[in-house]
Structure 1
Amino acid sequence: MVERRLIGMDRQTVVVKIGTSSLTDERGQLDENRLNHHVNGVFHLREAGFRVVVVSSGAIAAGFHELGLSSRPRTLAGKQAAAAVGQGALVQRYRELFAAKGAGCAQVLLTRSDLESRGRYLNALATLNYLLEREVVPVINENDSVAVDEIRWGDNDTLASLVAGLLQADWLLLVTNTNGLYTDNPHKHPDARPIRRLDRIDEALIQQVDGSKSLLGSGGMRSKLVAARLAAETGVKVHIGTAGSEPEWMLRAVRGRGDGTTIEAAPRHVSRKQQWIAAHSTPAGRLQVDEGAVHALLEKGGSLLPCGIIAVEGVFFEGDIVEVTDPKGIPIGRGVTRYPSVLIDQVKGWQSTTVKGIAPDAPEEVIHRDDWVTAVVTESSCS
């Protein structure tokens, strides 16, 4: 019997990422039985009251055979052409399988630039919520047919973690061909033991994990741990594992009874805007600050004032994202600047009251605390 949630309770959101190796057969073609099994899992989650978003790989694997290729293409043009052919076939099968259960689904294609722009980020959020409110399952994939290396995530694990953060989801399920994390590579070491639960993922653990991947997929276990850490740090609980044999295996995973590895979520202590700053935005410039500013930002919960700035790098404007470094150049966080770079360069080191003498309308803070995130969930991408 399908487990149902009580009417009136807040509905939780689950993002399910399905990897290529979990969707295809040994020839690299879509496996109808596997695809149907995943749709059944999503159906049981929905019947239990969860809002479900699917992030699905498999477009390239579904399309390269139709191009007359015997294996997954290696060139960017070949991958994009295969995705252009395969994306339609993949989504059509999802539509047919969901329709057979009386549910609708919608294709959503994204590139990284869609989430780096604050306006497009909010538009994506509004679209996904609109679909979910009308009981339509969004099926998301990276827009492989038009994306280029500079704006591609490289694997849908990262895309899924960013979508989970965007929606402030409760769960991220990473469906893969390895049943979670082990003490060693289980394909090479039969005595490796499964790790059922992690409180957190640190860099040392990521470096220890074997980065091997399947011939058809682009993401190994290392990429899944990186994605899981990103999601967990934004308050999303993560489960990594293979598809169980029973139809309700996804529901079992979010009930804490899954067979893979579950990573606990950190407390959700940032706003959605701060989350966008941390995970999605690309800095337009860089500010180097003194030790007093470092202490104010990291220890006292303060804002960044002009007097704490040592140097400015790049050309940017009010409202842009900038990275902030300590006196040694080590990134400590990023935020939305309220000053353009030309003004900061002029008034760096000044007291705010002095700044008013040449810029009466300038705010007191260069970066307000509400528009700041620390480097705990930030990766430097400014060059």
Structure 2
Amino acid sequence: MSYPLPLSPFDGEPIVPEHHAPRGPLQSPLREELSRAKRIVVKIGSSSLTKEDSFITSTEKINHIVDAIATRMGTSDIILVSSGAVAAGMGPLGLQKRPSDLATKQAAAAVGQIHLAYEWGVSFARYNRSVAQVLLTASDIGARDRARNAQRTLDRLRQLRTVPIVNENDTVATSEMHFGDNDRLSALVANLVGADALFLFSDVDGLYDKNPSEPGARFIEEVRTGKDLNGVTAGDGGRVGTGGMATKVSAARLATRGGIPVLLTSAENIDAALADASVGTVFHTREERRLSAWKFWALYCADTGGAVRLDAGAVKAVTAGGNSLLAVGITEVIGEFHAGEIIDIMGPEGEVIGRGEVRFDSAELRGILGKQMEELPEYQRRSVVHADYLSNYASRI
């Protein structure tokens, strides 16, 4: 999912721009909820792990992060999603800028994953905590059985008092099958493990309506709906990362669709963020928009086997009406799939409006397109996608 914010690059800005007056501790019921969350996912960006003047991991920065996490682990279970593998591999390989071709990027990740895991392991050892590296690809979460296995592994690691450190498996992920950034991955992992909160840390102290270094930039304390983002511009990734504020906003809104509140701030603020959530920008959930775990997985994680195209009436029925998808509203079947697979559901112009678990094979479905239920033989009188197993992208605001 991506939220259509216009982009104007900013990354690597000062933690609190000088022209902004210092803010006191922020308070709200949601911040209190975040401070008490029992199962949380913490995502750390690449720039928060490397030295300012090089592509080498910073032991000082990592120790600061681990100190705060270890303190919070006295009351909460924590899963860490760590960027930085590619960045950590650039120094040892003598690369002066982030590689753009896939092979070099994967080579840097292969080298960097070892360095990064070692740094995390040494730092957590100060608190007698072991770490485990969990490398995931989009296909791992996209396949239901593999997603369950990942979930069980993460749960067992936490039971064994080991800190799971999750990263995208850049060494094998292809350009067609990847999460895109670890911000999105953190939102998906938070949903996978049933987290109570997601904390996103980068190098900016929160969300602003424009580049925070510009005079008049307005800090946004809370995001309750998409309307709070009207007029906001957000930047892309910096010199060592692939994310940026736009991807963090997108990830935050993705997590809230699964009912998981989010706090977004800088890694410099991690102590206060994990202690009482009195810093940064918080993103609220909305109960009326909350998706079940299955619908969230089907909509944002699952591999799809094909697609169907609907007429305008059927689009309205399955989105605004919340009805099951019937054969009469389908105009085209795309691809080959079997009953029980997840398929994309498209509007008349080819726009993807949702996903669902199909109840017909593609070959059988082609034979009943556009037919009313009473025109079908008894054994075919069922919905193509039942409403309980259909999730749509409508009502994102």
Where on the TM-score scale, by shorter chain, does this alignment land: which range? 0.7 to 0.9
> What whole-Å deviation, never above 9, does each CA across 1:333-355 have from its counterpart, x for those lacking one?
21010101111110123344543
Number of aligned residue pairs: give it. Answer: 359
Looking at structure 2, the residues matched to 363 and 133 of structure 1 have their Cα atoms a distance apart, in angstroms, of 47
> What whole-Å deviation, never above 9, does each CA across 1:288-327 have from its counterpart, x for those lacking one?
3345533442344322222332322222111122222344
AA partner of residue 199 (structure 1): R
The residue that corresponds to 1:133 in the other structure is 159
Q: Which secondary structure does the structure 2 equivalent of 1:94 belong to?
A: helix
The residue that corresponds to 1:195 in the other structure is 220
AA partner of residue 314 (structure 1): G
The residue that corresponds to 1:225 in the other structure is 249
Identity, in percent, stands at: 38
AA partner of residue 262 (structure 1): V
* Shift in alpha-carbon separation, 1:192–1:91, aligned structure 2, 3 A: same
RMSD between aligned alpha carbons?
2.4
Looking at structure 2, the residues matched to 76 and 323 of structure 1 have their Cα atoms a distance apart, in angstroms, of 28
Quick one: higher RCO (CA 8 Å, sep 6+), 1 or 2?
Answer: 2
Residue in structure 2 matching 1:252, options 276, 292, 295? 276
Looking at structure 2, the residues matched to 213 and 299 of structure 1 have their Cα atoms a distance apart, in angstroms, of 36
Give yes or no for contact 1:320–1:336 (8 Å, CA) kept in 2.
yes
> What whole-Å deviation, never above 9, does each CA across 1:131-180 have from its counterpart, x for those lacking one?
22332211001111222211122321111111112223221111111111
Q: Which secondary structure does the structure 1 equivalent of 2:73 belong to?
A: helix
Looking at structure 1, the residues matched to 228 and 210 of structure 2 have their Cα atoms a distance apart, in angstroms, of 17
The residue that corresponds to 2:48 in the other structure is 22
AA partner of residue 326 (structure 2): L
* Shift in alpha-carbon separation, 1:354–1:174, aligned structure 2, 3 A: same
Residue in structure 1 matching 2:142, options 108, 111, 116? 116
Looking at structure 1, the residues matched to 197 and 169 of structure 2 have their Cα atoms a distance apart, in angstroms, of 24
* Shift in alpha-carbon separation, 1:123–1:352, aligned structure 2, 3 A: farther
Looking at structure 2, the residues matched to 332 and 147 of structure 1 have their Cα atoms a distance apart, in angstroms, of 26
* Shift in alpha-carbon separation, 1:315–1:53, aligned structure 2, 3 A: same
Looking at structure 1, the residues matched to 236 and 355 of structure 2 have their Cα atoms a distance apart, in angstroms, of 33
The residue that corresponds to 1:67 in the other structure is 93
Looking at structure 2, the residues matched to 74 and 288 of structure 1 have their Cα atoms a distance apart, in angstroms, of 36
The residue that corresponds to 1:288 in the other structure is 309
The residue that corresponds to 1:6 in the other structure is none
Give yes or no for contact 1:44–1:248 (8 Å, CA) kept in 2.
no
Give yes or no for contact 1:45–1:250 (8 Å, CA) kept in 2.
yes
| Aligned residue runs from structure 1 range 205-244, under 5 A | 205=230, 208-244=232-268
TM-score normalized with structure 2 length: 0.83
* Shift in alpha-carbon separation, 1:54–1:136, aligned structure 2, 3 A: same
Residue in structure 2 matching 1:370, options 370, 385, 388? 388
* Shift in alpha-carbon separation, 1:283–1:202, aligned structure 2, 3 A: farther
> What whole-Å deviation, never above 9, does each CA across 1:346-373 have from its counterpart, x for those lacking one?
012334454335xx3x561211122110
Q: Which secondary structure does the structure 2 equivalent of 1:310 belong to?
A: strand
Q: Which secondary structure does the structure 2 equivalent of 1:149 belong to?
A: coil
AA partner of residue 51 (structure 1): D
Looking at structure 2, the residues matched to 337 and 319 of structure 1 have their Cα atoms a distance apart, in angstroms, of 5
AA partner of residue 217 (structure 2): A
AA partner of residue 394 (structure 2): V
> Please, which runs of 5 or more residues in structure 1 have no aligned partner?
1-9, 379-383
Looking at structure 2, the residues matched to 284 and 153 of structure 1 have their Cα atoms a distance apart, in angstroms, of 18
1:174 equivalenced with 2:194 (yes/no): no
* Shift in alpha-carbon separation, 1:72–1:128, aligned structure 2, 3 A: same
Looking at structure 2, the residues matched to 290 and 147 of structure 1 have their Cα atoms a distance apart, in angstroms, of 36
Q: Which secondary structure does the structure 1 equivalent of 2:163 belong to?
A: strand
TM-score normalized with structure 1 length: 0.86
* Shift in alpha-carbon separation, 1:75–1:323, aligned structure 2, 3 A: closer
| Aligned residue runs from structure 1 range 307-318, under 5 A | 307-318=328-339
The residue that corresponds to 1:36 in the other structure is 63
> Please, which runs of 5 or more residues in structure 2 have no aligned partner?
1-35
Give yes or no for contact 1:162–1:280 (8 Å, CA) kept in 2.
yes
1:276 equivalenced with 2:297 (yes/no): yes
| Aligned residue runs from structure 1 range 315-354, under 5 A | 315-352=336-373, 354=375
